[in-house]
Amino acid sequence: MAKFQINRRKFLTAAGLGASGFTLSGCDAFDSQLGMGDGLRNFLEGANGLTYRAQRLLAGRDTLAPEFSEADIRQPMRPNGITAPDDDTYKSLLTNNFVDWRLEVTGLVEKPLSLTREQLLAMPSRTQITRHDCVEGWSCIAKWTGTPLSLVLDQAVVKPQARYVMFHCLDTIDRNLSGDIKYYGSIDLIDARHPQTILAYGLNGKPLPVENGAPLRVRVERQLGYKMPKYIQRVELVDSFANFGGGRGGYWEDYGYDWYGGI
């Protein structure tokens, strides 16, 4: 973690000092200080990288997404995408009320974890009333309860070379000739450790319903809905997402959506 944090801090400091004079041509100056690999540099030079960097400059590392009051919850949380996984594994886990389900934490960690739902529920929780914005143009305000992802990452002890958290889901979103594709997605460690990033098991005071991702879905409140995988089975710490799916970091990203789906 240390190296990564130092690099990020350098970036934030450089960003803060240079904010008033920030121009697109000035971007190059940051790259040498970041010490980035070619993959990330290429990524940051793309249009989406500019969105990502601009949003980081404006918002900062721990800026909170707006939170609302109970009175603002005017409707049930609209389900979207896959709402009833027809995968056999998922269906049998659901039949047993998820007692056999585990959240696996793997990849670039010192201590891989296999957590039951009870273990997650026993950890400190966070409840937040936030607005969900789908790229399709609709929003919902709902109350989410879950375990801060940062606590799970701390328990697993993230290795310094890790850069992203990859979420692997149980639902097949695409069936085509080249095979079945399960939903997947990734965020960076800044968003993963953000105080509002939770592994949610509760919605509006009740257990998370199947249509919204039971038993566990992530909330990444500063980004769009597609960045919040439902039906999570495994969290993998990686240093690159090049070798997953189409190589763009997520199911919808592989179809052209921005990797950084900032709101």
Ligand X SMILES: Nc1nc2c(c(=O)[nH]1)N[C@H]1C(S)=C(S)[C@@H](COP(=O)(O)O)O[C@H]1N2
Q: Give the binding site for Mo ion (CB under 5 A).
A: 134, 225-226
Dist. CA 169–CA 9, nearest whole Å: 32
Residue 101 interface partner, choices ligand X, Mo ion, none, CB cut-off 5-8 Å depending on type: none
Dist. CA 106–CA 141, nearest whole Å: 32
- 77/152 with CB nearer ligand X: 77
Residue 228 interface partner, choices Mo ion, ligand X, none, CB cut-off 5-8 Å depending on type: ligand X
- 40/263 with CB nearer Mo ion: 263
Residues that bind ligand X (CB under 6 A): 77-82, 134, 169, 171, 173, 183, 211-213, 225-226, 228-231
- 148/213 with CB nearer Mo ion: 213
Residue 241 interface partner, choices Mo ion, ligand X, none, CB cut-off 5-8 Å depending on type: none
Reference 147, options 222, 195, 106, 198; nearest CA is 198
- Least gap, CB of 254 to Mo ion (angstroms): 15
- 197/212 with CB nearer ligand X: 212
The percent of the chain in helix, strand and coil, each rounded to the nearest 5, is: 35, 25, 40
The rounded Cα 172 to chain-centroid distance in angstroms is 18
- Least gap, CB of 226 to ligand X (angstroms): 4
- 229/249 with CB nearer ligand X: 229
Dist. CA 67–CA 89, nearest whole Å: 35
- 55/80 with CB nearer ligand X: 80
Position with the least CB separation from ligand X = 81
Question: Do 30 and 52 meet the contact criterion of CB atoms below 8 Å apart?
Answer: no
Dist. CA 145–CA 206, nearest whole Å: 9
The angle formed by the CA atoms of residues 247, 233 and 170, to the nearest 5 degrees, is 75
Residue 188, classified by CB atoms within 10 Å of its CB into exposed (0-12), middle (13-18) or buried (19+), is buried
174 by DSSP, 3-state: which? Answer: strand
